[in-house]
Amino acid sequence: MSHELIDEAASSERAAAPVQRRDASSSSRGESRTVTELRPAHEGRAARRRPRVAIVHDWLVTYAGAERVLEQIIDCFPDADLFSVVDFVEDKDRGFLRGKRATTSFVQRLPKARTKYRAYLPFMPLAIEQLDVSDYDVVISSSHAVAKGVLTGPDQFHISYVHSPIRYAWDLQHQYLQESKLTRGPKSMLARLILHYIRNWDVRTANSVDQFVANSEFIARRIHKVYQREAEVVYPPVDVDAFELETKKEDFYLTASRLVPYKKIDLIVEAFARMPDKKLVVIGDGPDMQKVRAKAGPNVEVMGYQPFAVLHDRMRRAKAFVFAAEEDFGISVVEAQACGTPVIAYGKGGALETVRDTGSHPTGLFFDEQRAEAIIAAVASFERDPGRFRAEACRANAEQFSAQHFREQFFARVARAVPAIAEAGLARAPVAPPPDTRGDAAASNAPRVLAIDQSGVLGGAELSLLEVVKGLRSRIEVLLFNDGPFREALDAAGARVDVLDSGALQNVRRDGGAAPKLGVLAGIASLVRETRRRAREADVLYANTQRAMVIGVLAGKLARKPVVWHLRDIVSDEHFGRVQRTVIKGCAKLGLAHVIANSHASAQVFADLTRFDARRIDVVHNGVDESPFRALARVPQAQLRAQIGLPQDAFLVGAFSRLARWKGQHVLLEALLLEPRAHAVFVGAPLFGEDAYAQELHDFVKANGLESRVHFLGFRHDIAACMRAMDVIAHTSITAEPFGRVVVEGMFAQRPVVASRDGGVTEIVTHGKSGLLCTPGDARELATTLGALYDDENLRERLAQDGLAVARERFGKEQYVEAVERVLDGVAARAR
């Protein structure tokens, strides 16, 4: 009995992938009591030494879904020690354990344990309790069976990542007894007694867990049902980068899984046998192989076990992936979407959280019953309009379940509950092996950063700060003065973020000329007080925007903390009013320790205005994440245009920015009058009182009969897709741009860039090599340049390839984050 039941459980462990935030209010209420009680003990121990971490896993015999999660937890905590009931992983397969050997229980030494460890299920509760983790501050259990039952004391924090409560002992007991042919007789009675004992033990040991983390909302509900405890959700990691997007699908369906009863592969095969005009490919092996082969018709190809390359190839080319199991998560569902393949799934369990069947970008559809008729109806529904499922949307949905997201989310939860973990610098950047190799002393002394931003909008400055926060996540906190999408993005990245949504800065415009009113000053004073309070725990304040810098300087002065301003603007009279520039000069003298400028142009204007010490100004060009563009590299331009709703045969010139006069969209419209072969595509919307200018653009189009050649797309999230749908990216600012993020994005999109010859853009583009430069505001020169690109396809291709090489060499996000980190650490060290 034990052998068969655990064999089924082990097969279900191949459920693994990423992260979704549960309701913060309910989960935090459930955890605040535990964290508050434990924090003094942890802080006391952290003062003496770095916190010690133990990782406890059920059993180590293979590399399946639970082990993928374990691998990422080890990457988060590379110095942790490993414990397990047994460890029989072969030396050649131990890479995922990063060289660690597990401390094991007495089961390791029992007869035939290497091959018959499942038979010792009744002894495993006792075995896990004999593992001594009393010397550790933090215990992390990765549990689908007994690991969460490890014994911990009142001064230890135990966080349990639960793949599932012991499913064969709880709601699936009767199903497993039937499948194991243990429904009657003495063996059945013994099996039921053992499972009853395990249930009692399972509930009792749940009380020793301080915080539960579930691998899906489905499992969180199961945890609540069984243990009466709340659980946050961190989806297990899926290696989405191992799967390539393919937009050209072939005329066959795919299912892939271990062939065990609860996977219902035989049901899928039966359904397709009744649809002889539709082809199904089955990949996988297991005890149900004969049943599957018996039901297969001529249109069903049962390939058995196949290596990854074959699975990957079929998954990319299939028109849809069929999934009929009630799975805790379902990693194969995410892997299929990573290939751009939509999913037809049973609408229960984890699939409901990984497949979108509604909205403007669905990635699959559900059937309601595990019956052949339901699958047949779902396939018919899929084939009525397969075009509604976009490969790019499937890929985008899968990317939220990446291994990096898992590491970010899981580490953030441990650090939030046990601040000493972050303060000691453990896994300071848990993004990929190898782990941080700096010395223990350096890691434990890593400066703590308080980042400040005035905005809740997800603009260019906020996107750049987001990359810094991801890189320094274990020692950075973020304070925002407005709520909005930026806070949501920080939450999704596992950042520690707080919002002071006072509205005090909403009426302070950087181009305004009047001094702020008394009410505004009172609101600013309140922000300063709250920022000062939070600054006490930081070593350096990092202000990301101009208004945040003002608050930061005042708070930093009061808290005696150094302030670094990341200057992302050209502080000239074209962009800033007299009062604002006076305030900037005053702050530079009052309390700015250092300035990071996003370009030499920004740095020079700031230095001229403030006479700031040039030795305290560093130029760090913004970094851009290439991955959204790389994911679309194989998608045909025609397909992207069709999905966005753009003409197929037109020469499209795209302008990407908010609609504002200084961004110069009107210059591109004027150029269209001189170059009739071009179309203009505007991606962006008016944001800060610029609606009148947006209306001017629409009026100009109408007055000059350009309606068929100008396309206003408004605000879009799919910037990478929109850029790759263009022939040319145009940057048309009529005043100096501080940096020009859109220019770098255009390079990563592998499109030739035409940009204004001014400001930070001249530090990005070398004219004639990585792009073309035009005089700002000169519509005639812009038209001539666009005409030259229209006539010379080779020129377009050369500029695109050279631009991509420059972007990769100089503007990647890794070198950007490292440069910002060096400045912040240097300022903090000098302050000490």
DSSP 698-748: HHHHHHTT-TTTEEEEES-S-HHHHHHT-SEEEE--SS--SS-HHHHHHHH
pLDDT at 745: 95
Whole-angstrom distance, CA of residue 307 vs CA of residue 311: 7
* For range 120-145, the mean pLDDT: 93
What confidence tier does 22 reach under pLDDT thresholds 50, 70, 90? very low
By C-alpha distance, which of 530, 559, 571 is closest to 736? 571
- CA distances for 314 relative to 242, 297, 354, angstroms: 14, 19, 20
How far is the C-alpha of 696 from the C-alpha of 686, rounded, in Å?
A: 12
Closest CA to 357 of 344, 341, 373, 339: 344
Per-residue pLDDT tens over the stretch 814-828: 889 999 999 999 999
Whether 140 and 50 have beta carbons less than 8 Å apart is answered as no
**The dihedral sign for the CA sequence 102, 105, 109, 110:** negative
**What are the b/e assignments for 221-238, b being 16+ CB within 10 Å?**
ebbeebbebbbbbbbbbb
Q: Which pLDDT band, with edges at 50, 70 and 90, does 408 fall under?
A: confident
- Report d(CA 152, CA 54) in Å as an integer: 11
N residues, the chain: 832
The token pair that represents 339 in the structure block: 């290939």
Q: What is the pLDDT of residue 171?
A: 66
Of 173 and 736, the structure prediction assigns the larger pLDDT to 736
- Of residues 132 and 475, more confidence is placed in 132
Examine the pLDDT at 368 and tell me if it is beyond 50.
Answer: yes
- pLDDT at position 248 over 70: yes
Q: Which structure tokens are listed for 246?
A: 């393919």
> pTM for the whole thing?
0.52
pLDDT for 49 equals 57
Q: Among candidates 622, 628, 623, which has minimal Cα distance to 749?
A: 628
Q: 772, exposed or middle or buried, with CB in 10 Å at 0-12, 13-18, 19+? A: buried
**Spatial CB neighbours of 145, under 8 Å, sequence gap ≥ 6:** 6, 9, 58, 59, 124, 166
pLDDT at 294: 94
Least confident interval from 10-19, 52-61, 505-514, 525-534? 10-19
Q: Which of the pair, 261 or 765, is modelled with greater confidence?
A: 765
Q: Say if residue 82's pLDDT is above 90.
A: yes
Per-residue pLDDT, averaged over 395-414, amounts to 86
Q: Per-residue confidence at 180, pLDDT binned at 50, 70, 90? A: low
Q: Which residue has the tokens 């499913």?
A: 167
Query: Beta-carbon neighbour count of residue 251 at 10 Å?
Result: 10
pLDDT band at 438 (very low <50, low <70, confident <90, very high): very low
**Upper half-sphere CA count for residue 596 (Cβ side, 13 Å):** 29
Kind and range of the H or E run holding 195: helix 186-206
Residues 6+ apart with CB under 8 A from 473: 408, 411, 412, 429, 430, 493, 494, 495
> Which residue has better confidence, 64 or 830?
830
Q: Find, among 337, 334, 345, the residue nearest to 379 by Cα.
A: 345
| Measured distance CA(588)–CA(550) in Å, rounded | 10
The sign of the CA dihedral 592, 594, 597, 603 is positive
In this model, does residue 656 exceed pLDDT 60?
Answer: yes
CA–CA dist 401, 19 (Å, integer): 6
Burial class (CB in 10 A: 0-12, 13-18, 19+), 492: middle
pLDDT above 90: residue 170: no
pLDDT in tens, 452-470: 998 887 778 888 899 899 8
Q: Is the pLDDT of residue 217 over 90?
A: no
Q: pLDDT-derived band of residue 115, with 50, 70 and 90 as boundaries?
A: confident
Alpha helices in 500-591 (DSSP H): 518-535, 546-559, 578-590
Residue 401 in this model has a pLDDT that exceeds 70: yes
Higher pLDDT among residues 567 and 412, named by residue = 567
Q: Which residues, at least 6 apart from 121, have a Cβ–Cβ distance to it below 8 Å?
A: 2, 5, 6, 194, 198
User: What is residue 566's three-state secondary structure?
Assistant: strand
What values do phi and psi take at 323, rounded to 5? -140, 120
Provide, rounded to the nearest whole percent, the portion of the chain with pLDDT above 90: 54
φ/ψ of residue 795, rounded to 5 = -65, -45
Task: Convert the pLDDT of each residue in 187-213 to its tens digit.
Answer: 888 878 888 888 889 899 999 999 999
Q: pLDDT tens-digit profile of 657-681?
A: 989 999 999 999 999 999 999 999 9
256-287 pLDDT, tens per residue?
988 888 899 999 999 999 999 999 999 998 88
Give the pLDDT confidence score for residue 621 in this predicted structure: 93
Is 30's pLDDT higher than 80? Answer: no
Residue 720 has pLDDT above 50, yes or no: yes
| CB of 654 closer than 8 Å to CB of 722 | yes
First to last CA, the chain: 64
| Cα distance between residue 575 and residue 569, in whole Å | 8
Measured CA distances, 789 to 154, 268, 729, 782, 783 (Å) = 70, 53, 11, 11, 10
What are the angstrom distances between the C-alpha of 197 and each of 6, 107, 222, 469, 702? Answer: 16, 19, 19, 47, 78
Whether residue 434 is predicted with pLDDT greater than 80 in this model: the reply is no
Q: In the prediction, which pLDDT does 701 show? A: 97
Mean pLDDT of 36-55: 55
- In angstroms, the CA 271 to CA 252 distance is 14
**153: confidence class by pLDDT, cuts 50, 70, 90:** very high
pLDDT of residue 37: 36
- Rounded to 10 deg, the angle between the 741-748 and 793-810 helix axes is 110
Burial state string for 547-576 with b = 16 or more CB within 10 A and e = fewer than 16: bbbbbbbbbbebbebbbbbbbbbbbbeebb
Confidence of residue 504 (pLDDT cuts 50, 70, 90): low
Domains, the chain: 2-233 (no CATH), 240-399 (3.40.50.2000), 447-623+815-831 (3.40.50.2000), 630-811 (3.40.50.2000)
- Mean residue pLDDT of the chain comes to 85
For the chain, percent of residues with pLDDT exceeding 70:
87
Q: Among 69-73, 149-153, 181-185, 639-643, whose mean pLDDT is lowest?
A: 181-185
CB 296 within 8 A of CB 401: no
The 10 Å Cβ neighbour count of residue 255 is 28
Task: Please answer whether residues 211 and 160 qualify as being in contact, where contact means their C-beta atoms are separated by less than 8 angstroms.
Answer: yes
Distance CA 304, CA 302 (A): 6
Residue range 322-332: average pLDDT?
Answer: 88
